[in-house]
Chain A
Amino acid sequence: MTATNAKVLSRYEIARHFRRSKSGLAGVAIILGLIGMSIYSTVAIPLESYRHWNSPNFWIDYPRSAAPSWVNIGLGPKIPEHTILHMKDATISSIEEGQLRAVVHSYALNFNYDYYPSDFMLLYSARYGSTQPVLQVNVVRPDGQDFMIYFASLPSSQQERNEFSARVFSTDRAIAENLRDYEGIFSYKQDSSRPEIMIFAEAQENKILKGQYVIRETFYLFDSQDSIEDSGIILGGKVYGLMGTDELRRDLAVGILWGAPIALFIGFTVSIAAVLIGLIYGVFAGYKGKHTDEGLMRVSDVFYSLPALPILIILSVTIGRSIFLITGFLVIFGWVSMAKVSRSLALQLKNMQYVEAAKLMGQSDTKIIFRHIIPQLLPLTFATIAIAVPGAILGEASLSFLGLGDPSIPTWGQILHDANSSSAASRGLWWWIAPPGIMIAITGLAFVLIGNALDSILNPRSRKI
């Protein structure tokens, strides 16, 4: 009778057609990948890292604007990788002589790079009372030289038996002073005030000494109740991790990974809510007809004619920027097109004989809408939801890019905004710009592929011949 009735496809038929569509399957594969990323990021990456996204202290151990570590693959000069070692990476031994104990944490470090490290840090965390332990740090170089670079007692504790954590920077004056004793080893002028170069330089020639270094942190404890809670060493490099870091030392891999569940959340929530609201609104208008229809459609015209982005900007500036508010704002502008489509289909469907039959057996309008009309529109609804997801993700990304997104969580748009405000593009920090951009594009593409595949199955007019 009408176009909508011409082809009623069962769920199984739709699934069968969908399996034949290569682009649809590609879209599903991408989305499964994104869901995998989401699960990985919630399970493997501690929740803290995303909560502390904006707290500089959390990222203090990380390098500033480091490139991804895989840039070292290939023939070019090797850039030193930022290395963070903690107690669990050390070989621990301890010697006891009466009351005195010496706890040795030794770290083995392979240094085979073509540039000097930018700096280094020694970390410790100890629990002690009134008798301060003494820390001694030695570096055993690949050429057999043993540099004692640090020998000092830990700061005196004010309270009774407290855990005390601190770090010794490579710029510490004590290190420079200790290193002055070793300047004679070098056959050329070596500057002890730049320990990160002196320690890693060859004795005969002014070049880098490659090979295995052993850094030994020895703690001398004078009380049997004192203990070492943690130690560590950070070697400052210019490359780090899978995705590098940004200007504020944040690990971009964490941001990109956490962006996936957030983007999927925004995309799905906005599109499902908007499409369902539009569906019910449109079907109600179309089914009721007459003045109801006229009134509802004029209201939707108002929403249709509002310029979305300027108003979104105003809303997020005046009302708030939390991710849930932004989701709501995006829904406000997302439901109108579905309302128009479903209204026109409801106009056709309400003249179907089974709808009139239901009306004449006394069925209520609400039940007719939900039992007889909306089920016919469900396939269309799913296709529209899939197609609406990228719009929602892009909407959030553009708001975030303009600096109006939720600042407390890492979204891809937020990362792009940070990159832009640090002028990452002109400084050549490509790893800060490309991954979030690519992720937004891929996610959008996946949903468009699925939506188009569903649309061509469900909408006979656009089906390929």
Chain B
Amino acid sequence: MDILLEVRNLRKYFPIKKSFRHLLQRSREVDFLKAVDDVSFILESGRVLVIAGESGSGKTTVARLVMRATNPDKGSIIFEGRDVTNYTGSQLKDFRTAVHMVYQDPYASLNPRMKIMDIVMEPLNIHDRASSKSEKVEKVIRALKDVRLEPAEEITNRLPQMLSGGQRQRVALARALVLSPRLIVADEPVSMLDVSVRGEILDLMQNLKEKFNISYIYITHDLSTARYVGDELAVMKDGKIVEIGPINRVLSDPYHEYTKNLINAIPEPDI
């Protein structure tokens, strides 16, 4: 297996804003929130890395760092053998064709004033200068069919508010898919959806992974869905990865106390 993404000693601290009184009392010391503190992991091509942890553990910040939405204070991100940590300009733009993100809230991640066609076509308009307009339309419709939004032609004319939550998340996936990316970072993609459609979306993500050889970083606080999609599991607490390994091993034989607590928190059906 070739390595798609390697993250080495990533660190991101946020300065804590102090009150005016604090400023008067103390000198120039700055307190930091250690959002991501010395995080390293490796993601192989075609695999799914689950990053789990409670809220505030820094898992979304890891996602944003990998996406190059914010710059790390320290450490490096190596994508397909190239260090992308300090990419800017056109290099960064190239990187953005290969890595896409799916957000937690499908109601907030789609512009409410744009039609589905324009939403899904936006990445094509940025990166795909070679295709003509009709080729782009075709690609959009193919992406919508790939995420099983039918009838695709009719849905392209709708606004996001005319779709259900599950359908919107499929649109978000189609938007991530349309440039045939190698990595999709999914930040709790099903936690805002009805339980009934969660399984469908997770199935869809599995299918797409096999069909297009896409890797995922799947961020969740819910270990029950992690087992369903994941190959590797990294458990985060207070900005640090406390345990990482193959998902079945971590779930069946956790050695960190915090992982055990998380596993015990999975609700078991009483029958």
Q: Which residues of A are in contact with B by a Cβ distance under 8 Å?
A: 1, 5, 8, 10, 352-354, 356-364, 371-372, 375-376
Contact = CB atoms under 8 A, between A and B. Distances in A.
B100 interface: yes
B111 A354 contact: yes
21 contacts: A1-B108, A5-B108, A5-B112, A10-B159, A352-B108, A356-B69, A357-B103, A357-B175, A358-B111, A359-B69, A360-B69, A360-B101, A361-B96, A361-B175, A362-B93, A362-B96, A362-B97, A362-B123, A362-B127, A363-B122, A363-B126
Interface residues of B, number: 26
Contacts of A376: 112-113
Given A353-B109, A361-B122, A362-B97, 6 more contacts: A8-B112, A353-B108, A360-B96, A362-B123, A364-B126, A375-B114
Given A8-B113, A8-B161, A354 B108 contact: yes
Interface of B: 67-69, 92-93, 96-97, 100-101, 103, 105, 108-114, 122-123, 126-127, 159, 161, 172, 175
Nearest to B106: A353
B110 to A, nearest CB: 6
A21 B126 CA distance: 43
Nearest to B92: A362
B110 A354 contact: yes
Nearest to A373: B111
A372 B112 CA distance: 9
A8 B113 CA distance: 8
B126 A360 contact: no
Contacts of B108: 1, 5, 352-354
Contacts of B126: 361-364
A342 to B, nearest CB: 16
A364 B90 CA distance: 11
Given A5-B108, A352-B108, A357 B69 contact: no
A358 B122 contact: yes
A361 B112 contact: no
B69 A375 contact: no
A82 to B, nearest CB: 60
A425 B101 CA distance: 72
Nearest to B105: A353
A88 B225 CA distance: 94
Most chain A beta-carbon neighbours within 10 Å: one of B103, B108, B112: B108
Contacts of B172: 357
Q: Which of B92, B93, B113 has the most CB of A within 10 A?
A: B113
Nearest to B112: A8
Nearest to A2: B108
A43 B111 CA distance: 46
Q: For chain A, what secondary structure do more than half of its interface residues adopt (helix, strand, loop), or is it mixed?
A: helix
Contacts of A358: 111, 122
Given A5-B112, A8-B112, A354-B111, A360 B105 contact: no
Contacts of A375: 111, 113-114
A363 B123 CA distance: 8
A11 to B, nearest CB: 10
Contacts of A357: 101, 103, 109, 172, 175
Contacts of A353: 103, 105, 108-109
B61 to A, nearest CB: 13
A357 B110 CA distance: 8
A354 B112 CA distance: 9
Most buried by A among B92, B96, B97, B111: B111
A263 B58 CA distance: 59
A8 B112 CA distance: 7
A357 B103 CA distance: 8
Nearest to B67: A360
A23 B126 CA distance: 45
Q: Sorted from nearest, which 9 A-B pairs have the closest CB atoms?
A: A362-B96, A353-B109, A353-B108, A8-B112, A354-B111, A361-B123, A362-B93, A375-B113, A353-B103
Contacts of B159: 10
A371 B112 CA distance: 12
Contacts of A356: 69
Nearest to B90: A362
A301 B98 CA distance: 43
Q: Which of A8, A353, A371 has the most CB of B within 10 A?
A: A353
B100 A361 contact: yes
Contacts of B109: 353-354, 357
Contacts of A363: 122, 126
A340 to B, nearest CB: 23
B171 to A, nearest CB: 11
A228 to B, nearest CB: 70
Nearest to A361: B123
A377 to B, nearest CB: 11
A1 B103 CA distance: 14
Nearest to A1: B108
Q: Which of A5, A360, A361, A371 has the most chain B CB atoms closer than 10 A to its own CB? A: A361
Nearest to B104: A353
Contacts of A10: 159
B111 to A, nearest CB: 4
A261 B56 CA distance: 61
A371 to B, nearest CB: 8
B96 to A, nearest CB: 4
A12 to B, nearest CB: 12
A361 B100 CA distance: 7
Contacts of B68: 360
A360 B102 CA distance: 11
